Structure 1
Amino acid sequence: MAEPAYVKIAGDLARQIRSGEIPPGSQLPSLDDLAQINGVSRIVARQVFELLVSQGLVRTVRRKGAFVVDEPNLIRVSPERQFEDPEVTFRNEAVEEVEVSRDTETVAADTLLSEALGVEVGADVVHVTTRASIGGRPVSISESYQPVGLEGTESAAFLEETLSDVVPSADHAEWLQLSPADVVKSVDQRFLGPSDDVVMVSTISYPRDRYSAMRFRMALGDPKIQ
């Protein structure tokens, strides 16, 4: 999916906040100024502030404006993240070097994948493992599966997420450098087409303490979810 303007602008501001270029307590440009600086509408500028607030980076004060919080905390916000490649997501969260690797293979669907994707047992399924690190520290590993012939989530109309604290698989624990008994924050996702056909399923593991909160965000009134 193309990255929306408000996500890009918010990401640029987020990087400046996390790097200290915009220090805690600083007042951000007004709604009108932000719109003019970036050549966007007031609606887009308002979305920028809403996203930064939801990520825990900015607070708004009535009739005074928006200010950088004293101690920014990482908050995972969805589905904004679904518009981004992992490189963009983690670059918005850090000032150190971001490294992302992907391994893609075709596997035969077992019983669980058959049920999850609505395909026959033994059908070919594309399996992608994505690993991300920041400054050499592993911060995420995900595994996605989708039927052969589909690519990405552009055909998806709905996203379902389930959040849980779980003991990770051996591969996830190894990448995140955790002991077998450690718990991770796990996000299970289902991307669904307009007729509830499954486009992709994925599981993402993060260190349990990476995010201070996880929020799901949707636009009320979207005809796709009525």
Structure 2
Amino acid sequence: MTATLDSSTVAQYLSEHPDFFAEHTSLLGEVKLSSPLTGRTISLQERQMEVMRDKYKALELRMSKLSRVAEENGAIASKFHGWNQAMLQVRDDAAMPRVLVDALQSNFGVPHVSLRLWQLAPEYADAWYSQNITADVRMFANGLQTPYCGSNHDFEAVQWLQADKVESTVMIALRTPGTGDTFGLLVLGSPDSERFTSSMGTDFLVHIGATASAALHALVAARLH
């Protein structure tokens, strides 16, 4: 009596004998399979071509996605470079906050940008960027371990933007390099609720925060350096 072969046994046999179809070429046309794409019966050769086409399409989609991501990253890097160039040209520390805000707004196309700094040296105590800072705002910034990105929930700091309508916002704590002590808060806003969402990655925002912190730290009181 001939033993009944299950599918796994057949599959194992074919795997162990890669020359099987080379030795039995007639089977390539005789073996019929059901196509999951068309539902019709096709030969083993046709099914193999379908599988190869599917793999090729998947590879094309993946390459297209990688290319798009590379283009987006390149565009962001170019904007970041322009922002850095603007700040590198600043020779007066007191002018840095305004240049940083304006260059961030223009290079990245953000509708509204502002910031506030505290624990500053006495000569900067009356500057615009040291006004309207409450204890609640400072407490919020201290607890902001990663940038906030998402809907505007009537955050107090959003009032610094002096905009009629802010639907989405980014808030980044500014910290002393090396110690991590908070000395400011950077706020970006948009009337578009989809401009800044909670699903966005924050890696790039972390870089913005680190760069802004380094650029502005010269204004902090010497005892806090």
- If the length of structure 1 is used for normalisation, what is the TM-score? 0.30
- If the length of structure 2 is used for normalisation, what is the TM-score? 0.30
Higher normalized helix content (fraction of residues): 2
Largest Rg, 1 or 2: 2
